């Protein structure tokens, strides 16, 4: 079992999407759940910003990148942000069963985020 402290440091394979400037869909590897969450702020209308987040080497830089481009966020972010987090946790749960997120106490998961 991986400890929940790794929750924000574990790479996550995102959903199928078209990279900026491409017609072919592929799955992107996000460096962390935070990278996925911050990238979703630009989905689907700004794929170039979504993809740029893939190159932010740290969680801090990913958050800063998105924050400085807040004017470009999707207009419904305040409504969809919870669903994005749940989707990310779901993908992580399926991809990393060794983290035991399905049996971890919710308070522990919330404390890790």
- Give pLDDT tens digits for 14-72: 988 888 888 888 889 999 999 999 999 999 899 999 999 999 999 999 999 999 999 99
Integer Cα distance of 32 and 61 in angstroms: 12
Under 8 Å between Cβ of 101 and 6: no
**By three-state DSSP, how is residue 91 classified?**
helix
List of residues 6+ apart from 48 with CB closer than 8 A: 20, 21
Integer Cα distance of 94 and 91 in angstroms: 5
| Whether the predicted pLDDT of 1 surpasses 60 | no
Comparing 6 with 11, the larger pLDDT belongs to: 11
Q: Which of the given ranges, 5-14, 84-93, 95-104, has the highest pLDDT on average?
A: 84-93
**By three-state DSSP, how is residue 104 classified?**
coil
Integer Cα distance of 40 and 85 in angstroms: 9
The model carries a pTM of 0.86
pLDDT the model gives residue 87:
93
């Amino acid at each position: 079992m991986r400890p929940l402290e790794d929750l924000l440091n574990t790479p996550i394979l995102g959903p199928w999407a078209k990279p900026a400037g491409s017609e072919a869909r592929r799955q992107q590897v996000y460096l962390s759940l935070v990278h996925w969450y911050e990238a979703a702020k630009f989905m689907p209308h700004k794929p170039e910003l979504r993809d740029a987040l893939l190159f932010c080497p740290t969680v801090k830089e990913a958050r800063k990148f998105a924050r400085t481009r807040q004017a470009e966020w999707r207009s419904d972010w305040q409504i969809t942000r919870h669903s994005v987090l749940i989707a990310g946790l779901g993908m992580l749960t399926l991809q990393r069963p060794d983290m035991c997120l399905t049996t971890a106490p919710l308070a522990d998961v919330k404390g890790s985020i």
